[in-house]
Amino acid sequence: MSVRPAWEVRENEGTTRWFEFRLVFADGARIDALVVVGDGCVCVEEVRAQPALSLDDLTVLADWIEESVAEACEPGAGPDGCGGQGRRARPAWPRGPEGRRLVAREYRAAQRDGADPILAVMGATGHSRRASLRLIGQARDAGLLSPRRARR
């Protein structure tokens, strides 16, 4: 796996950086991605994979990319999402009961506003869809959200 800086743009107080991400497997499979880091988040702009990836594979890939790019950022780089925020470019989110209460609050607020509650939790926590669904499930298990309706 390799991550290398492609270019960066400085504007006002912030910096946006692009990285090229490459993952090559022993069987010849290959993944190339263009990743953007800025405003405290990591975004995947483009992915090319041979052979093609499933949606589940893309979810796992997003976590790998996020960790790899965060490690590639220089420490202390400032408000561009690379420095001063630990290993990952995501906001700090409390664990345990406090985190579950905050997840439930975000989820209910999105429902009340007619927005997608899963996307709201993803945006608030900075976690992937899979991790956000896990947090929502934990909030349900703790009795902070109503049980899921059965699908028919």
pLDDT at res. 42: 78
**Range list of H helices, the chain:** 55-72, 96-113, 117-125, 129-141
Residue 104 pLDDT > 90, yes or no?
yes
Report residue 12 as tokens: 């006002």
Band (pLDDT 50/70/90 cuts) for residue 139 is: very high
Q: What global pTM score does this model have?
A: 0.46
Q: Mean pLDDT over all residues of the chain?
A: 78
Report residue 113 as tokens: 């506003």
Contact 51, 29 (CB under 8 A): yes
Q: What is the mean pLDDT of residues 44-65?
A: 82
pLDDT tens-digit readout, 52-62 = 888 878 877 87
How far apart CA 61 and CA 49 sit, in angstroms, is: 11
pLDDT at res. 85: 38
